[in-house]
């Protein structure tokens, strides 16, 4: 069979538009996002559309003119990179279209946990941890940020300072106490 009629995946995985590291949204759920997270994703989308994609298209066009495409590394790599960029553009476009931008500073000074809150809590052993509840596409666990759909965030949402809650974990249910709730001041970015 001719190679023209077969589809090679080049190591690609069937991912939903480049969303390998991002968990899916809950069914019927909203894509909550802070204004800063929305701006960051929008900037990435514009950089891909206006900057990176045109450069790769130019490279692929140049490489295509150099003859045998089957052994042309610039052409093959460029086409693969172009597919990756297009997949990421589709993913970002979909996520931004359904984004519900929520400004956590409207709750500044409050003691109840809502989206965007920075919460300090203590577990049964007395160990304290501080997390910030963010959107699915903007949460960075290494920075102490968790997605609003994570088990800890779902347990903390709507709680108040002083509340003792039951956190389901793989090792069993753990008791946690809300010690402090803060929000960014209006007009500032976290």
Give the pLDDT confidence score for residue 16 in this predicted structure: 46
Q: Are residues 147 and 164 in the same domain?
A: yes
Report the CATH number that the domain containing residue 45 is assigned in CATH. Answer: 1.10.287.180
pLDDT digits (tens, 9 = 90+) for 3-52: 444 444 444 444 444 455 566 776 666 789 999 999 999 999 999 999 99
The answer on pLDDT for 161 being more than 50 is yes
Give the pLDDT confidence score for residue 36 in this predicted structure: 94
Helices (H), 17-66: 35-47, 53-64
Give the pLDDT confidence score for residue 23 in this predicted structure: 66
Domain count, the chain: 2
> Has residue 189 been placed in a domain?
no
**Strands 118-123 vs 172-182: parallel, antiparallel or unpaired:** antiparallel
40 CB contacts (<8 Å, ≥6 apart)?
138
Angstrom distance (rounded) from CA 116 to CA 48: 28
> Has residue 5 been placed in a domain?
no
Domain endpoint, select from 101, 133, 151: 101
Q: Are residues 95 and 34 in the same domain?
A: yes
Q: Are residues 37 and 91 in the same domain?
A: yes
pLDDT digits (tens, 9 = 90+) for 79-122: 999 999 999 999 999 999 999 999 999 998 889 999 999 999 99
Q: Are residues 108 and 177 in the same domain?
A: yes
H/E run at residue 168: strand 164-169
Residue 82: domain span: 29-101
> Has residue 80 been placed in a domain?
yes
**Helices 73-97 + 53-64 axis angle, to 10:** 150
Mean pLDDT across 158-180: 94
């Amino acid at each position: 069979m001719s190679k023209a009629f077969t589809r090679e995946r080049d190591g690609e995985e069937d991912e939903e538009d480049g969303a390998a590291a991002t968990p899916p949204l809950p069914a019927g759920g909203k894509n909550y996002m802070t204004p800063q997270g929305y701006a960051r994703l929008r900037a990435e989308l514009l950089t891909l559309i206006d900057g990176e994609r045109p450069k790769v298209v130019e490279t692929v066009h140049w490489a295509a003119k150099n003859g045998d495409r089957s052994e042309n590394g610039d052409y093959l790599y460029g086409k693969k990179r172009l597919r990756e960029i297009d997949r990421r553009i589709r993913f970002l476009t979909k996520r931004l279209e359904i984004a519900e931008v929520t400004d956590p500073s409207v709750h500044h000074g409050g003691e109840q946990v809502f989206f965007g809150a920075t919460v300090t809590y203590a577990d049964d052993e007395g160990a304290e941890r501080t997390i910030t509840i963010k959107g699915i596409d903007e949460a960075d666990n290494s920075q102490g940020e968790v997605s609003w759909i994570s088990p800890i965030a779902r347990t903390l949402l709507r709680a108040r300072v002083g509340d003792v809650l039951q956190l389901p974990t793989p090792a069993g249910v753990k008791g946690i106490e809300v010690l402090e709730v803060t929000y960014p001041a209006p007009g500032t970015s976290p």
